[in-house]
Amino acid sequence: MDVSLHDVHQALLELGKLRFGEMGVEDGIREIVHTTHAMFDVDGAGLMLADADRHLRSVAASDDRFAHLEELQIEHDEGPCIDAFENKELVGAEDLTGDHRWPLFSEAAIQRKVRAVLASPLPYNQDAVGVVAVLSERSRPWSPANELALLAFTDLAALLIASIIQGEQQSEVAGQLQGALNSRQLIEQAKGILMGTRGVSARAAYEELRAKARSERRKLAEVCAEIVHDAVR
């Protein structure tokens, strides 16, 4: 079922109280996720935020099946939510059965009854701090109306995320966000060092950092901190 722009408008009006702080941030995030689930008539919807290692962790989900996205994408280091987050653009998969962009993830997702995914990056200060996504157990063409609707809900979620960061609220979500923002600075510094000393692209530098962290079974932020420390000695 396609989402109508009228339905999106009505849902956003109902969620308007979130803009004025009438609901706690974490309750607000859950409300957005559940409204997104209902609006799209899908099998799962959720919001993921990056942790200090730039892994996407679910902070609100309308269905337990959404946990599969987090688990499988971290395990296989690929997937539509990771691409939306890394490339800061909307990513859709209508049917993972015939989608070869993420072979390891797709095969495992289909076994968990996840066939279609639409993911939108959560913006903050020219970067992405997470993803809002919906999933379906059946193949699902994502129409332009679907994409516009998800972007609208993502923008509302981004307002809440910004209020967490700027308001310095003490909560689990706030702590996770702060850790992610702090590690991002280290990662960018380490990437810059590799780009300058080895003449590689930003993407190649990031992949090298992640590969080093995986092979040594260390946290990405720890590897980056070591590179930055060695460079300034």
Domains present along the chain, CATH in parentheses = 5-167 (3.30.450.40), 172-232 (1.10.10.10)
Chunked in runs of 10, what are the mean pLDDT values of the chain (233 residues)? 61 60 67 79 87 84 80 87 92 94 93 93 86 92 87 82 65 68 79 89 84 85 86 76
- Spatial contact of 115 and 73, defined as CB atoms under 8 Å apart: no
CA distance 117 to 134: 6
Q: Which of 138, 154, 112 lies closest to 42 in space, CA to CA?
A: 138
Q: What residues have CB less than 8 Å from 144, skipping those under 6 apart?
A: none
Residue 72: per-residue pLDDT: 87
Instruction: For 104-143, give the DSSP string.
Output: HHHHHHHHTT--EEEEEEEEETTEEEEEEEEEESS-----
Tokens at residue 205, please? 């530098």
Strands (DSSP E) found in 27-80: 44-50, 56-61
